[in-house]
Amino acid sequence: MRLFLALVPPPELRERLGELADAAHACCGGRRIPDESLHLTLAFLGEVSDVQAVKLVDWVNHLAVPSGEWRLDGWGHFRRPGILWVGGQSPDPALDILQRRLWDALEGFGLAGRPTRFVPHVTLLRRADSLDADNLPTPDLIWPYRHLVLMRSFTHDDGARYTTLARSS
Ligand code: ATP
Ligand code: MG
């Protein structure tokens, strides 16, 4: 099964992000990520076996994650997949440390895939017609977090859908 570790936004923030996604979609087209799928990926694990998944669920359920606040104050894009996202204009040391800690543990589970660069972001559009966010309002949002989740991703023709398998304590 296809898994990743993520932060999910609290309900009010999910609404604000949805509004940004609407504004982005109106200007740039593409496929707007539905509100229920908005997230920040901390680690993409890819395909794992059922045996590994059981171990990961148990690990995440017992994992303690330091709480924090992530500031989202900028737009960004990944050109090739046509992704338009919101994130921080400057690196977030707490998220960087969390991401490194997670990969240290994941490698202990025998998983590979630690990225060379971690760019925390929330994807709002995929396959956008334009990636020019200059006319969009500058975001200024705070994301308070206390838990991470282990998500399973199901691929569909109209985009992936996710289910939560575990949440940190
Ligand atoms: P789809 O690929 O069907 O358009 P998706 O990208 O949302 O949808 P997944 O590919 O399962 O679904 O990815 C789940 C999460 O992991 C997403 O946040 C995605 O950006 C991220 N992700 C996927 N592949 C990688 C990768 N190779 N490296 C880093 N993050 C990834
Ligand atoms: Mg993908």
Q: What is the pLDDT of residues 59-93, one digit of tens each?
A: 999 999 999 999 999 999 999 999 999 999 999 99
79 torsion bin: left (phi>0), alpha (psi -120 to 50), beta (else): alpha
Predicted local confidence at residue 10, as pLDDT: 98
User: Is the beta carbon of 113 within 6 A of some atom in ligand 1?
Assistant: no
User: Is the beta carbon of 160 within 6 A of some atom in ligand 1?
Assistant: yes
Dihedral sign, Cα of residue 106, residue 111, residue 114, residue 118: negative
Predicted local confidence at residue 32, as pLDDT: 98
Residues 153, 33 contacting (CB under 8 angstroms): no
Residues 125, 21 contacting (CB under 8 angstroms): yes
Q: Tokens 């330091």 — which residue?
A: 66
Q: What digits encode the pLDDT tens for the residues 135-152?
A: 999 999 999 999 999 999
User: Is the beta carbon of 114 within 6 A of some atom in ligand 1?
Assistant: no
Mean pLDDT, the chain, rounded, equals 97
HEC profile of 33-80: CCHHHCCEEEEEEEECCHHHHHHHHHHHHCCCCCCEEEEECEEEEECC
CATH of 2-167, one of 3.40.50.300, 2.40.30.260, 3.40.1050.10, 3.90.1140.10: 3.90.1140.10
Residues 65, 97 contacting (CB under 8 angstroms): no
Mean pLDDT of 25-44: 98
Atom of ligand 1 nearest to the CA of 126: 4
Predicted local confidence at residue 128, as pLDDT: 98
User: Is the beta carbon of 34 within 6 A of some atom in ligand 1?
Assistant: no
Q: Among 78, 79, 70, which Cα is nearest to 39's?
A: 70
Instruction: Give the distance (Å) from ligand 1 centre to CA of residue 158.
Output: 14
Instruction: Give the distance (Å) from ligand 1 centre to CA of residue 44.
Output: 7
Atom 20 (ligand 1) nearest CA: 41
Q: What digits encode the pLDDT tens for the residues 101-160?
A: 999 999 999 999 999 999 999 999 999 999 999 999 999 999 999 999 999 999 999 899
Q: Among 78, 74, 84, which Cα is nearest to 128's?
A: 84
Q: What is the pTM of this model?
A: 0.97
Atom 5 (ligand 1) nearest CA: 160
Quick one: tokens of 113? 């895939």
- Which 3 state secondary structure label does DSSP give 103? helix
User: Is the beta carbon of 59 within 6 A of some atom in ligand 1?
Assistant: no
